[in-house]
Amino acid sequence: MKNILYLSFIFIACFSCKAQNQIPSENNTIINNNPKLVVGIVVDQMRYDYLTRFYSKYGEGGFKRMMREGFNCKNNHFNYIPTKTGPGHASVFTGTTPKYHGVIANDWYDKETKNMVYCAGDYSVLAVGTDSDLERMSPHRMKTTTFADENRLFTQSKGKSIGISIKDRGAILPAGHSANAAYWFRGKDEGNFISSTYYMKDLPKWVKSFNASKIAESYLKDWNTLYDISTYTESGSDLNTFEGGFKGKETATFPYDLKKLSQQNAGFDILKVSPYGNSIVADFAIEAIKNEQLGKDNITDVLTVSFSSTDYIGHNFGVNSKEIEDTYIRLDKDLEHILKVLDSEVGKGNYTVFLTSDHGAINVPSYLKSVKIPAGYLNNVSLKTKLSVFMKNAFETEGLIENISNNQIFLNREKIKALDLDLDDVQEAIVNEIITYKNVYKAYSASTMSTVHFADGVENLLQKGFNQKRSGDVLIIEDPAYISYGKTGSTHGSGLNYDTHVPLLFFGKGIKHGQTLRKTEITDIAPTMSALLGISFPNGAIGQPLEFVLD
């Protein structure tokens, strides 16, 4: 009996020790429950109503598929000012606003160096894939992490992160600081996708092969409407006075001979201002999925894709143009192509996609005026001249203003201190002066932004875009539908609905089928994706996971 008990004890002890020393296999970890690939898509300058306005022209496999099989957040908004490309891409993927991630504009005045700086510019690195000195880029000016960064940390850098776009900032900021790669398009006389030494010393073989294939050259062809132009009833007339067009063509009307026009429009850069710029991004993204083996194992990879040609075309031709309608019809085809490749390469039910935008856009003010809607253009020269006279009279000196840009006034703080002036008093004096100027809707001092909490309204949006270290001393909000821009084409940047209301579609693994009119904010996207993956939220995230989206 004693022997039996002894043997039983030995057996249990050995089994227990074996269990304690077992190392769970990778297939048994929680990673196995996650999507193999997350694809974050940003469509540059996409208003929400492009989903509904062009709905009847879309096929079944692109936007409609995502809406039908996924989840549509119909009341999704940016929650800060300014609504620009750099801040937009950073906010989507960090889950926070310029107040925290620090990307306060595309370019801004640096108070330390006294120079304008670019959101992705970095002279400590070199370009890879081009000899141009203008392509030295990295995410170093973005202060917080993206959910792609958090995925890299969670997976011990085994999960890949790759960013792709026509624009450098559209590729770099979403992919995060720890990305394996970011690729953007170098136009001019090159027509290649490039990167920087922040990521690599040399382009991968598949990227070189893609560039050598002359795909970019194949897109230098006629751009005509995909369908009969008479069926494009969702947009204005093709010939009007509200569009820019191309050098070398008398009117901004279809068709456009891109190959011929490229000679006067910066070579391959003309592709950026055509729907084929989106197509080449889709082509390149598909090659990345295949050659980088994205989604091929149980460790989640992240691919970010930004379609930027929509923005270039919107700026050139405007919100109500035939060109915009045709661009979105063609983008729908590109989106369908990507989803089909994901089905075949990663597998249905193995990947998750979200689609949103970095900002919306205003209808061309000259068009709005023609239909009696209040709108117009600003005279910045007049404002600067008038303000300069005021400053000289009020403070009996010159040079107190260092810079005026991005609707912000930057003061020479050293001179103010040397003159024994109170900084808050100078700021408030300017606020009280410029609020009397024509087309200045609101104005606030940096002191107010730093000390007063605004719970709602446009003031709240301005505050969430205010970065204490980088933003100016006085912030200006212009009249609704008044812009600092040319008389043709659309732009963006305000806190009004035409700039803040953008699509938000979730699709794929872990996503419910449905829709909501509940208000969601752009900063909710990254926490939602982090919650889906079971990883840490980006370190500066202020948004909340959209629980009703997750299955």
Catalytic positions are 85
Say if residues 174 and 146 touch (Cβ distance below 8 Å).
yes
Task: Decide: 285 and 338 in contact? Cβ < 8 Å.
Answer: yes
Are 516 and 75 in contact, with CB atoms under 8 Å apart? yes
Can you tell me whether residue 539 is helix, strand or coil?
coil
Q: Helix (H, G, I), strand (E, B), or coil: what is residue 203?
A: coil
Q: b/e for 381-396, b at 16 or more Cβ within 10 A? A: eebeebbeebbeeebe
Strands of the 71-77 sheet, one edge to the other: 127-128, 192-196, 181-186, 161-165, 301-307, 37-43, 351-356, 504-508, 71-77, 514-521
Contact 458, 477 (CB under 8 A): yes
Contact 192, 209 (CB under 8 A): no
10 Å CB burial of residue 254 (0-12, 13-18, 19+) is: middle
Assess contact for 64 and 505: CB atoms under 8 A.
no
> What are the DSSP calls for 118-155, one per residue?
ETTB-TTS-EES---TT--B-STT--S--HHHHHHHHT
Mapped onto helix, strand or coil, the DSSP state of residue 481 is coil
**Tokens matching residue 493:** 């940047």
| CA-closest candidate to residue 448, choices 430, 433, 463 | 463
Helix (H/G/I), strand (E/B), else coil: 421: coil
Contacts of 14 (CB under 8 A, 6+ apart): none
Assign 164 to helix, strand or coil. Answer: strand
Longest dimension (CA), the chain: 107
Q: Please give the structure tokens belonging to residue 199.
A: 């990521």
Are 345 and 289 a contacting pair, CB within 8 Å?
A: yes
- Separation between Cα atoms, residue 222 and residue 419, nearest integer Å: 62
| Length of the chain, in residues | 551
Among all chains, which residue has been given the structure tokens 């992490």? 145
